[in-house]
Structure 1
Amino acid sequence: MPKDEYQEMSFLRVTSYYFNMLPVLKPGVRSFFVFPLIIFALLTPLVCHAAPSGVLILSSGKSPVYEKIAEALKARLKSPERRVHLLTYSNKHETSLVIPSNTQLVITLGLKAGEVIQTMNSGLPVLHALIPKSSSSRLLKNTENRTAIYLDQPPNRQLLLAQLINKDPHIGILLGNSTMGSKQEFISLANKLGMEISYRAVTSEEMVGPQLKELLVESNILLALPDPSVFNRRTVFNILLSSYHNKTPVIGFSSAYVKAGALISIFSTPDDIARHIAETTSEYLEKNEKKLPKPEYPKYFSVEINSSVARSLGITLPSESEIIKFITNRTSQ
């Protein structure tokens, strides 16, 4: 039985007992009990019915990634003072989604969940997670009580990783519809770090092959970005194979890319993301902050190396833990 229901039942039993006793007491004694009992009856419900704060986690679907992050968040956030509600979006929720009472913060996982919450105009603070930076602007504009933890890795991490692969890196990037907006950020950071960078715009899937061929002539590292118009199940095999034949190492953005043939990937695992969201949520709620923090890239990240590809390309790398430590130290300076 929930603690607040148990307290309520205990109060009712005590109150009932004393009211039942009043008729058998003498008038003077009866009046002695009545006034304190009234005060007790007025104050006790205020304590017993003080509802815990609530956090709603809305997932965009039943993807294993969403489910793993949602469950990890619930485990990290749940406490006697806080209730955590898990909901998974489906088409039937278009008009029937109800936000539980006492919700103080909404956490959305994925783009669809973010769009659904936006259309509800609840006025509640919202933390959007697992969304690309390129898609965040329409969810965050014209409001001060919304923030995001992006799906993307920050460009400085990716460029620092390139420096570990090649002391004189010339990075090639294929930019599609979702990543074209990051072009200037990459160019500026590369200039600061003394790196060369080349890019090609991909406006259709048919352009991936020809643009990649040109890019591999100019660059000695290929940086893959999470853009489905460029990197998808129809194109990724040929991209990785062409890069390997050209002896150009590929930096991927997920563990799957390492398994498919990329030299190395830098990414945030579900545990990394859940940890970051939980820390942001706890700090906001426990400190009674008036505003959510500014949107940011994932705080925690992981690295995975394909040792077979490294040997074939004659590349020697530090251990995964050493790479994480190096990048963390450099980006915190």
Structure 2
Amino acid sequence: MAATLVASPAAHAQGNGRAPVYLAGSGNAALDQHIQKLLEQNLESQNDLILISDEQAALTQDGPIVTLGPSAFSRIRQVNRKAPVLALLVEHDFLQSFVRRSPGQVSGVYHGAQLLRQALIGKAILPQATRVALISTTDTAELYDTLIDQLPAYKLEARLFVVDDDKQLIPTLIRALSYGDFLLAAPDDAIYNPRTIKHVLLTAYRRNRIVIGPSQAYVKAGSLASGYAPFPAMAEMAAGYLQTFFETGAFPAPGYPSQSRVEINEQVARSLNIPLDTREQIAQTVEKWLQEQRGQGDE
């Protein structure tokens, strides 16, 4: 089954009897083709995966639209607010307001890792760590609510430091770094963005503290490590969401794939004289801790 670009999506879908799934690409041809292939493998022969332009998306009425990346999602929402949309390659803070307004009709598969996994990556790298520093704005503090309650089960505690305005970012960060064994960064564009990340990372580095998260891109910039969801796991989860949509008329709530991998910055680790296990060993340690906790919950 190949993803096709057709002049009339509805006509194509009606021609073969399979329910259509429309795909709005990111603009990165290699990435789009890779995810197309993975989605096709998971959808098998149940649906037609149809690549559409923004103009065609405005006319679709007979199937959900999968969007790749925040730009694609925003474009599709602008041209067709009635279409059910499953967003891939987006983060929690980007999608949550849309989901609140259109539950069941807007959902997504996040491409990062759950904050608990991110925190445990930090503990796997620094086994003696007991305190996790968190920074947010007043509006984004809720990103950490669940995490703060989860951490004590893993012998970790966290404190949230709130930034009221841009001028307070570095002074607040310094206080946070004095408290925590490491700084855990959520996918929070209000705090961690291209304008601020260099200052955050340099401030942490000068105080001999590591930053975990929020994504692979920030590991390249200087975070020590981050979890992320592999593309095959995202595609498998997306196919399951689409199946649920066709069965019930609604998507499940957005979520993270159960599988997670770890990206590390070995240069930063060497600079801070921190010994590192391999990415695979760190991921296995995190998974072991999570399974142990789940086992205790079942007892």
Whether TM exceeds 0.5 here: the answer is: yes
* 1:83 maps to which of 43, 48, 59: 48
* 2:58 maps to which of 98, 108, 119: 98
Question: Gaps spanning 5+ residues in structure 1: where?
Answer: 3-47
Q: Say if 1:170 and 1:195, in contact at 8 Å, map to a contact too.
A: yes
Question: What residue in structure 2 maps to residue 34 of structure 1?
Answer: none
* CA distance 1:175–1:69, change in 2 (3 Å): farther
Question: What residue in structure 2 maps to residue 55 of structure 1?
Answer: 21
How many percent of aligned residue pairs carry the same amino acid?
Answer: 23
**SS of equivalent residue, structure 2 residue 117:** helix
CA shift at 1:318, angstroms? 2.6
**SS of equivalent residue, structure 2 residue 52:** strand
Question: Gaps spanning 5+ residues in structure 2: where?
Answer: 3-13, 295-299
Question: What residue in structure 2 maps to residue 189 of structure 1?
Answer: 150
Matches within 5 A, 1:118-197: 120-122=80-82, 125-140=84-99, 141-166=101-126, 167-176=128-137, 179-197=140-158
* 2:285 maps to which of 291, 304, 326: 326
Question: What residue in structure 1 maps to residue 258 of structure 2?
Answer: 299
Q: Say if 2:244 and 2:250, in contact at 8 Å, map to a contact too.
A: no
**SS of equivalent residue, structure 1 residue 173:** strand
Question: What residue in structure 1 maps to residue 163 of structure 2?
Answer: 202
In structure 2, C-alpha distance between the alignment counterparts of 1:185 and 1:65, rounded to whole Å: 36
Q: CA RMSD in A?
A: 3.2
Which amino acid is the alignment partner of residue 228 of structure 1? D
CA shift at 1:157, angstroms? 0.6
CA shift at 1:178, angstroms? 6.3
Name the structure, 1 or 2, with higher relative contact order (CA <8 Å, separation 6+).
2
CA shift at 1:261, angstroms? 2.4
Question: What residue in structure 1 maps to residue 177 of structure 2?
Answer: 216
**SS of equivalent residue, structure 1 residue 104:** coil
CA shift at 1:158, angstroms? 1.4
In structure 2, C-alpha distance between the alignment counterparts of 1:237 and 1:137, rounded to whole Å: 27
* CA distance 1:138–1:231, change in 2 (3 Å): closer
CA shift at 1:196, angstroms? 2.3
TM-score by length of 2: 0.76
TM-score by length of 1: 0.70
In structure 1, C-alpha distance between the alignment counterparts of 2:42 and 2:262, rounded to whole Å: 26
Question: What residue in structure 2 maps to residue 35 of structure 1?
Answer: none
Question: What residue in structure 2 maps to residue 238 of structure 1?
Answer: 199
Which amino acid is the alignment partner of residue 52 of structure 1? R
Question: What residue in structure 2 maps to residue 71 of structure 1?
Answer: 36
* CA distance 1:253–1:275, change in 2 (3 Å): farther
**Structure 2 residue 219 is the aligned partner of structure 1 residue 254:** no
* Deviates most, 156-165 or 128-137: 128-137
Q: Say if 1:169 and 1:195, in contact at 8 Å, map to a contact too.
A: yes
